[in-house]
Amino acid sequence: MWALYAYRRPYELWREFDQLGLKCARALDDEGWQARMLRRLGRMYTDVGSYQDAIDALEGALQLYRQFGDRHREATVLNSLGVVLLRRGEAHSGAEVIGAHWRSTKISATGGRSERS
């Protein structure tokens, strides 16, 4: 389904599908799928310009990925948050978040250890 959404961008259907997925994940208490659905909703809200909704969804996903210790997906969500802030005209905040993304990616690439320059 993701390829169809990414190519055709039927945003209303995308929103309904992912909100249903989030509802199901919550009913099953599956936090992994909750995080995935929140991340996808964040991307969709970013595309349609609903930046506060995007931030809310992405922050929810970020909290879960941090809880899991999933540094790779944490970095992906931080990057998405930075993009939202940049599009919203908050260049300084966006740059800070994207900087956190790169630091997280650097740590992730070293197996959780911080590299020294």
Domains of the chain from N-terminus onward: 31-109 (1.25.40.10)
Hey, what are 72's tokens?
């790779």
- Give the chain's end-to-end CA distance (angstroms, integer): 42
| Structure tokens belonging to residue 88 | 């919203």
Residues contacting 113, CB < 8 A, separation 6+: 107
- Mean pLDDT, to the nearest integer, of 75-100? 81
Structure tokens at 111: 């197996």
For the stretch 37-85, pLDDT in tens is 999 999 999 999 999 999 999 999 999 999 999 988 998 898 899 889 8
Kindly give the interhelix angle for 71-87 and 91-109, rounded to the nearest 10 degrees.
Answer: 160
Band of the pLDDT at 116, cuts 50, 70, 90?
very low
Residues recorded for the chain: 117
Q: Percentage of residues in the chain with pLDDT exceeding 70? A: 71
